[in-house]
Amino acid sequence: MANCLTLKKSNCKNCYKCIRNCPVKAIRFSGNQAHIIGNECILCGRCFVVCPQNAKEIVDSTENAKVLIQSGDPVIVSLAPSFVANYEGAGIDAMRRALQKLGFADVEETAIGATIVKSEYERILLEDGRDVVISSCCHSINLLIQKYYPKELPYLADVMSPMQAHCFDIKRRNPKAKTVFIGPCVAKKDEAEHYEGLVDAVLTFEELSKWLKAERIEIERELDATEESRARFFPTTGGVLKTMTQDIPGFTYMAIDGVENCMRALEDIENGKIHKCFIEMSACIGSCIGGPVMEKFHRSPVMDYMSVAQYAGERDFRVEQPDSLMLKKHFTAIEHRLLIPAEYEISAVLRQMGKFKPSDELNCGSCGYNTCREKAIAICQGKAEISMCLPYLKEKAESFSDTVVRHSPSGLIVLNENLEVQQINLAAQRIMNIRAESDVLGESVVRILDPSVFLQVKKTGRTVRDQKVYLAEYKRYVEQTVVYDSESHLLIGILRDITETESERERKTRLHQQTIEVADTVVEKQMRIVQEIASLLGETAAETKIALTKLKESIGDE
């Protein structure tokens, strides 16, 4: 298979959007990067359309077209009929003038090839007596059947696509001509490369627009009118049927678009539920006007359909119908399937994903697979990684986070902007004598704490740090920090229980006070004793002085 889609690894960021939208899960993940599995891919282009980082790129073939032009041979463009929707207001004549300025010899509508193909479909239904016939215009549907529904290959019309039939017709009329198809489809690049000799290069409308812009060529907004152009309906859902004669008795004609819908129809065919039916199948919703390039850059399904419908005529293009053998296209089954792992291998992977019993298998589809079991099989096949399971990662992260929060020595309480309790850990429950977190979850914080600090932080947006508070109701001292997370619109309260520290501080304060009081008492008592002693000494000294004076006087008298 041609490597038509490439990946810019630097832009692939584990979003899994591509695998969620891939109808056949043809993407594997390794090293946190998405890789397209070539032999499983049906080139529907859904991964290219949905990638939010534009990590998927369609391989550019502009240089190939330029080389063809430089070769000197006439290069004729087969222009997909959806061009009238992509280049609003421009008809085939305006497109021809613009493309001839790029060096192309001529431009014709692929709808000419569509007329050839629809005539061959009518012949098959009339002459071959087939039970079920599936249109072979869409290469992605052809690949889907070849790879995933090989039993339905006998029902696939063995007819060239309109692109191939038209390029075959161009080269029949001009043997020296080179052909370049331009349209909204990535799968056509693979079809051109796989079936060599008919289409020499394929460009998308995006590539053409870039080339015209680089050469400063403007497409004139001018519509032409051609009644013999009914096959211009081909790029719409049911467009093939609109051009066909549907008059075979007992035959049902229907159009189905979208890979998933086509897969369901193919399963019904395989189960023998559908008979006598012609089915026009398109991989893209809306058919070719919903092609990956159209959808990525020009998605207006109603306006696009109206543009095509208004441009299409009432009668068929005049063509020279080739012999049926010249239009034959052979399809073979394409082997791609990986071996289904043994049951014990699947169970082992499920256990690694945290799925120990059926009730653990959420089948949420966030990884891109419809069920956890499908995801486990993909892991066994090397297509997926365990880390792609978002519920598993979320649960693992929450489990780790909860373990940290739950066993934190500080009390944690989380409130929403209505000051309602969203989370509370064990330490906070112990501080506030709360039996179970369910008793307060969803309740207003005023039931358990003074809300004033939370209101203040919410109003000002400024964090309060290490504010010492006495919770009288709980007889506890705490240092509280309150933070407002504006992104998550949550208030987070951190309560550090300092009751023992405060109790010890108060005990020391009381002891210190008691010591001071005892010291004061002792000093006071000592002072009193000193004073008493001093008083006694003072009286004794006075008496002694009097006695000595009298003794002195008596001695003097003698």
85 backbone φψ class: left, alpha, beta (φ>0; ψ -120 to 50): alpha
Q: CA nearest 212: which of 51, 366, 374, 98?
A: 98
pLDDT over 90 (residue 267): yes
Identify the top-confidence range among 143-152, 294-303, 368-377: 143-152
Give me the pLDDT at residue 44, please.
94
pLDDT digits (tens, 9 = 90+) for 278-290: 999 999 999 999 9
Q: What is the DSSP string of 359-384?
A: GG-----TTSSSSHHHHHHHHHTTS-
pLDDT of residue 484: 93
Range name among 332-336, 390-394, 503-507 with the lowest pLDDT average: 390-394
Asked if pLDDT for residue 1 goes beyond 50, the answer is: no
2: pLDDT strictly greater than 90 = no
Total Cβ atoms within 10 A of residue 396: 13
Half-sphere exposure of 21 (CA within 13 A, CB side): 17
Give rounded-to-5 percent helix, strand, coil for the chain. 50, 15, 35
pLDDT by residue (tens digit) across 49-106?
998 888 888 999 999 999 999 999 999 999 999 999 999 999 999 999 999 999 999 9
Q: What's the pLDDT score for residue 296?
A: 67
Structure tokens at 396: 């693992």
pLDDT of the residue at 409: 86
- Angle of helix 162-173 relative to helix 187-194, nearest 10 degrees? 50
Contact in structure between 145 and 153 (CB atoms under 8 Å): yes
- Over residues 183-189, mean pLDDT: 95
- Residue 298: per-residue pLDDT: 67
476-485 and 5-7 as β-strands: parallel, antiparallel, unpaired?
unpaired
- 399-417 pLDDT, tens digit each: 555 666 777 888 999 999 9
Buried-state track 251-276, b at ≥16 Cβ within 10 A, e below 16: bebebbbbbeebbebbeebeeeebee
Cα–chain center distance at 459: 36
Please check the confidence at residue 6 and state whether its pLDDT lies above 70.
yes
Q: Work out whether the CA dihedral 163, 168, 169, 171 comes out positive or negative.
A: positive
d(CA 512, CA 13): 65
